[in-house]
Amino acid sequence: MTIHKSPEFLKGLQTRVSHAILTDPAPTKEELEQCYYAAFRAPDHAYLRPWRFIEVRGDQRIVLGEAMAAAMQADDPDVAEAALAKAKKGPLRAPLVIIVYAHIQEHAKVPAWEQVVATGCAAHNLVSAAYAQGLGAMWRSGHVTESNSLLAALGLRETDKVVGFLYLGTPANDDKPIQALAIDDFVSEFNPK
């Protein structure tokens, strides 16, 4: 068994931040291939490979924003105009948006929630691979990920589950400082009663 030590990779994971503003250039085809190869190594019970990715570029980002706003309005006819306007503009905040969804499959040993988690791990690996190549990323979600109207607009099944929208590009702002967390605040030892 080969174990690869990589202090640079570890430091990258420990210092990762989200970039709210992303500009051109978008990731190249070669950079995206590296991101997908990393995504495909996510934990995956029974090798179901539930993760799926839809790339959205150029004017298709406008179409996506309109579909997101329409889904919000279909789900809540009283949604505020400001929220609809924000949804329409959202995908324009990066040159590339990747819609990540779990293609849920019936399986006796792998429940749907586990397939969603695996897809989330794949999305995280993709974002980490983007950072490793000097790219910026932001993982967005929100109520629209729960919308059956959006699933229909994307041509997905009702059993599919959108886990997020990955915005990728070149960082246009400095990394915002993030408070360091204390391990003891989040980790305890097993102590059965």
Q: Distance (Å, rounded) from C-alpha 42 to C-alpha 122?
A: 5
In a domain, 180, yes or no: no
Count the residues in the chain.
193
In a domain, 27, yes or no: no
Q: Phi, psi (5° rounding) for residue 82? A: -65, -40
Task: Give the global pTM.
Answer: 0.94
Tens digit of each residue's pLDDT (9 = 90 or more) over 10-20:
888 888 889 98
Burial-class residue 47 by CB neighbours within 10 Å (0-12, 13-18, 19+). exposed
Tens digit of each residue's pLDDT (9 = 90 or more) over 128-162:
999 999 999 999 999 999 999 999 999 999 999 99
In a domain, 48, yes or no: yes
- Which of these, 3, 17, 61, lies nearest to 179 by C-alpha position? 17
Q: Distance (Å, rounded) from C-alpha 118 to C-alpha 42?
A: 6
**What is the average pLDDT score of the chain?**
95
Q: Which domain holds residue 125?
A: 40-172
Check whether 3 has a pLDDT greater than 90: no
Report the pLDDT averaged over residues 86-98.
97
In a domain, 51, yes or no: yes
CATH number at residue 87: 3.40.109.10
Report the pLDDT averaged over residues 176-180.
83
Angle between helices 29-39 and 112-132 (to 10 degrees): 140
- Which of these, 45, 1, 34, lies nearest to 135 by C-alpha position? 34
In a domain, 192, yes or no: no
In a domain, 59, yes or no: yes
The angle formed by the CA atoms of residues 40, 118 and 26, to the nearest 5 degrees, is: 50
When divided into structural domains, the chain yields a total of: 1
Cis peptide before 25 (omega within 30 of 0): yes
In a domain, 189, yes or no: no
In a domain, 82, yes or no: yes
Query: How many Cβ atoms sit within 10 Å of the Cβ of residue 97?
Result: 26
Say which range, 48-57, 73-82, 176-185, has the weakest mean pLDDT: 176-185
Query: How many Cβ atoms sit within 10 Å of the Cβ of residue 54?
Result: 16
